[in-house]
Structure 1
Amino acid sequence: MEMALKERGLEPEQLNISMELGSTQAIKEVVAAGLGITIISSLTVRRECDQKIFKSLKIQDAPVYRPLSILTNAHQNSQATQSKDERLLIDLLHDHRLLSEILSKDYNELDSIE
């Protein structure tokens, strides 16, 4: 997050950061208690937003990405030993266009993706 802020000309030192927490659950509890705001993955708060506990604001024209890794069993590291479902998931994760389309959809709209 600090790198994304710096890329946009904002130094984290300029923000009034009052705490840093080590778990998503702790962050959600602090925000629910009215003690601050945060930038967090929308996927981690979807249920709370649906329940109107939180209000999610989209960061427009400033996508924040974070590197992700695909973890597999070390003993099944070749395509020949992967299950069909594992191969489908890995292929999906490498299809940036389709993955972006899926992630931008509302959960109820996923049936319409071809």
Structure 2
Amino acid sequence: MLQIGRCVMKYPNLVPKSMCMTDINVTIYKEGVSETGAPLIALNDELKCNYQDMAYTKMTAEQKIVTLSGKAYFCGDICPEQAVISSGKVTVFGVERTIYQGTKARNPDGSVNYTLLELV
């Protein structure tokens, strides 16, 4: 919240909960590995998101095709104990996808407005 004089301003949710209708299972990994070499889990939960499919292909220098398959938008911070989301996986519409990039969009006061997971 932002206080201007006597007025208190609340930042609007750019991804409102009412727009998050898609069921998604999210697993976010912490940095490092366990004693057995398995990834450490920071979050494993069933959530609701606004999911957008997309097909994007291009040829790299090595002639490989890369396809980005979607974006999942969440209201607020889905994993507050992690400052950055760098890896994990999701299951949406019965398909398991890998987290390519995680973004926590912040308000001017430092709070997280929404979380975006880009999926491959």
Is TM-score (shorter-chain normalized) higher than 0.5?
Answer: no
> What is the TM-score when the length of structure 2 is the normalising length?
0.25
- Who wins on radius of gyration, i.e. which is larger? 1
Query: Which structure carries more strand by proportion?
Result: 2
